[in-house]
Structure 1
Amino acid sequence: MSASIRARGVVYLTEDDNAGLFYRFIPTTPGKLVEGGKLQAMALKGAPSADTRNQEVAAWTVGDWREIEWIDLDDVESPNGDLAKRGHAAGAAWVARGEGVWWGDNELYFTATSGGPIRRGQVMRLVPGLNGAADRLQLFVESTDQRTMNMADNITIAPWGHLVLCEDNYSSDIRNHLKGVTPDGRIYVIARNVFTGNSEFAGACFSPDGEVLFVNIMYPGMTLAIRGPWSSVRT
């Protein structure tokens, strides 16, 4: 996280809905969220109410960058459940079922689990602007084959700079996997769920020394410790 973003205590939030938004919360007092603050939603600069999902219409391609801005949201505690619709009408961009989000080196990545032309997932990369520059968003990965990436959900970043994606698909014949993603967007397999029921992987994170990858399998409810050596994936 950049120093300026860290100092403001900004919190980024995804929304698990195919017609969702990507949010940030700027607290009135950094580190004291209970004191309130400002909730905003991401918009593509120069393209109000855009659609990043690529489900019906291909709005952009893998590797494309867009400058973004943030729309202030009103009545954020409304019981009507219409915040995303109101935010989109005000100019915010649709995101397809945002889920996992993780900071890397002065940038963040988040998944859009049902994004893309076959609705099997996207990974977005957001780089906060510095010294007055605009924030930027990249379509980093998008699935065109469910065997390559199938509904990435939770996400973490490995100590060597690769992404680790937890799949959450509902297929009876395509198993859920842990997938790695290199900095140039190449996807590889780390592990496969062979347990009956094909439940999702979730909650991936590394030990402080970077040697053990912990991950959960939702059903039957277990936590696995996957140990290195990880030298074969350090490229």
Structure 2
Amino acid sequence: MDRRTLLRATAAGGAAAFTGSLWSSAALAAPAQPGAGPYGPLGAADGNGIQLPAGFTSRVVARSRQVVAGTTYSWHDAPDGGACFPAGTGWIYVSNSEITPGGGASAVRFNADGTVAAAYRILSDTNRNCAGGATPWGTWLSGEEVSRGYVYETYPQGGTTAVQRPALGRFKHEAAAADPARQVIYLTEDESSGCFYRFRPTVWGNLSAGTLEVLVAGTATSGPVTWARVPDPDGSPTYTRQQVSGAKKFNGGEGCWYADGTCWFTTKGDNRVWAYDAVAQRIELAYDDSLVAGGSAPLTGVDNIVGARSGDLYVAEDGGNMEMNIITPDEVVAPFLRITGQSSSEITGPAFSPDGTRLYFSSQRGTSGSSSGGITYEVRGPFR
């Protein structure tokens, strides 16, 4: 069975169960370079101001401070990290709210035909919930992007109160990604001298207790790494990133995505996409805008990341020219979509529906440039 056939088979269960191989980080010859994308050039902006390749269409799902169509629920401000979960014959898209105070997260439930069935709150009264990650047992980990912030385990189906998970460490949380093979949760930290962590639960599926570890390596951008226990996950009085000598520093950790032995994570301070090979315990660079031939990098403002069943990575821009770029298994990077007229915003929360036919994401501040102007979109089309 070839890689893409394997991906289609393993991704059928949805984002929370995604285990298909993207590319092997050990096989990376060099960071990705610009080239022609698999879907061709972007067309003119549609009625929603989004430029897409031929055959793709967009729709608005929700707007901040406006009632989600077909429900009585008003969508939250500053929509950020998100994920999709199977739900009966339909699915759910969850989205964080990056405001403080208030924060939290909301969910939209879709019917099998894509119509909205319901919208509701799944986390309240937290601070600056930025990114997070889905677990294999169907929960959403929502991280607070504040100093000594918490991770909250939330329940997309609704009806269950979110639970604070201090064992995952208190620091400026960004994204999380579950690795079921090694039974760990990877975590990124949004600091200019931040670290890359993994949490080993005492019992897989129960995040109430376990061991927090930090990646240890030299200053090189590729090579073998080790892990060391963080002595005090509470981070007080010494921040977690300062507790372990030799912990590798990353410039502004952002998105995080795991599939079949590799955890991909991004750093916005240097516009890089990293690949951690969990099998060989090595890190490599998958993309670095400073290493683009000719000096014209298509992807800047590197932020949230999600993988598709095709093996492609989709990377959202925080600023830049408001694009979501695709990085293919052939190490080609190219724009997949561009949002026009929203230069004071950022693209957040990319996530595929369980069947891989719909891509959800938000413009955090929309056309207004304010957190109250967020817009959440859906794109449909012939995703490979």
What TM-score range do you get, normalising by the shorter chain?
A: 0.7 to 0.9
| Secondary structure at the counterpart of residue 241 of structure 2 | helix
Deviates more, 1:67-76 or 1:7-16: 7-16
- Report the TM-score, using the length of structure 1 for normalisation: 0.77
Question: Which has more radius of gyration?
Answer: 2
- Runs of 5+ consecutive residues of structure 1 not aligned to the other structure: 45-49, 52-58, 116-120
Equivalent in the alignment of 2:321: 175
Equivalent in the alignment of 2:338: 192
Equivalent in the alignment of 1:40: 213
Distance, in Å, in 1 between the alignment partners of 2:323 and 2:181 is 36
Over 3 Å counting, the alpha-carbon distance change for 1:143 and 1:69 in structure 2 is same
Equivalent in the alignment of 2:225: 68
Equivalent in the alignment of 2:199: 25
Contact kept? 1:175, 1:198, Cα under 8 Å? no
Of 69, 72, 80, which residue of structure 1 is paired with 2:237? 80
Contact kept? 1:148, 1:187, Cα under 8 Å? yes
- The answer to whether residue 260 in structure 2 is matched with residue 105 in structure 1 is yes
Aligned AA (2:261): N
Q: What is the CA deviation profile of residues 148-173 of structure 1, one whole-angstrom value per residue up to 9, with x for unaligned ones?
A: 2112111000121110001013xxxx
Of 303, 309, 313, which residue of structure 2 is paired with 1:153? 303
What's the CA shift for 1:80? 3.0
Over 3 Å counting, the alpha-carbon distance change for 1:193 and 1:74 in structure 2 is same
Contact kept? 1:8, 1:27, Cα under 8 Å? no
Equivalent in the alignment of 1:14: 188
Equivalent in the alignment of 1:47: none
Distance, in Å, in 1 between the alignment partners of 2:243 and 2:363 is 36
Over 3 Å counting, the alpha-carbon distance change for 1:146 and 1:168 in structure 2 is farther
| Secondary structure at the counterpart of residue 33 of structure 1 | strand
Over 3 Å counting, the alpha-carbon distance change for 1:43 and 1:146 in structure 2 is farther
| Secondary structure at the counterpart of residue 28 of structure 1 | strand
Distance, in Å, in 2 between the alignment partners of 1:142 and 1:70 is 24
Distance, in Å, in 1 between the alignment partners of 2:296 and 2:230 is 35
Over 3 Å counting, the alpha-carbon distance change for 1:149 and 1:8 in structure 2 is closer
Distance, in Å, in 1 between the alignment partners of 2:343 and 2:322 is 10
Distance, in Å, in 2 between the alignment partners of 1:81 and 1:187 is 39
| Secondary structure at the counterpart of residue 223 of structure 1 | strand
Q: C-alpha root-mean-square deviation of aligned residues, in Å?
A: 1.9
Deviates more, 1:102-111 or 1:160-169: 102-111
- The answer to whether residue 376 in structure 2 is matched with residue 223 in structure 1 is yes
| Secondary structure at the counterpart of residue 243 of structure 2 | helix
Deviates more, 1:155-164 or 1:189-198: 189-198
- Report the TM-score, using the length of structure 2 for normalisation: 0.48
Distance, in Å, in 2 between the alignment partners of 1:165 and 1:7 is 24
Distance, in Å, in 2 between the alignment partners of 1:122 and 1:183 is 16
Over 3 Å counting, the alpha-carbon distance change for 1:72 and 1:191 in structure 2 is same
Equivalent in the alignment of 2:6: none
- The answer to whether residue 255 in structure 2 is matched with residue 94 in structure 1 is no
Distance, in Å, in 2 between the alignment partners of 1:229 and 1:197 is 28
Contact kept? 2:322, 2:342, Cα under 8 Å? no
Aligned AA (1:6): P
Distance, in Å, in 2 between the alignment partners of 1:74 and 1:126 is 23
Aligned AA (2:255): G
Structure 1 consecutive aligned stretches of length 4 or more whose deviation exceeds 3 Å:
none
Aligned AA (2:202): T
Distance, in Å, in 2 between the alignment partners of 1:31 and 1:154 is 25
Distance, in Å, in 2 between the alignment partners of 1:195 and 1:148 is 18
Aligned AA (1:106): G
Structure 1 vs Structure 2: percent identity of aligned residues? Answer: 31
Number of residue pairs matched by the alignment: 197
Q: Hey, which of these two has a bigger chunk of strand by percent?
A: 2
Relative contact order higher in (CA < 8 Å, ≥ 6 apart): 2
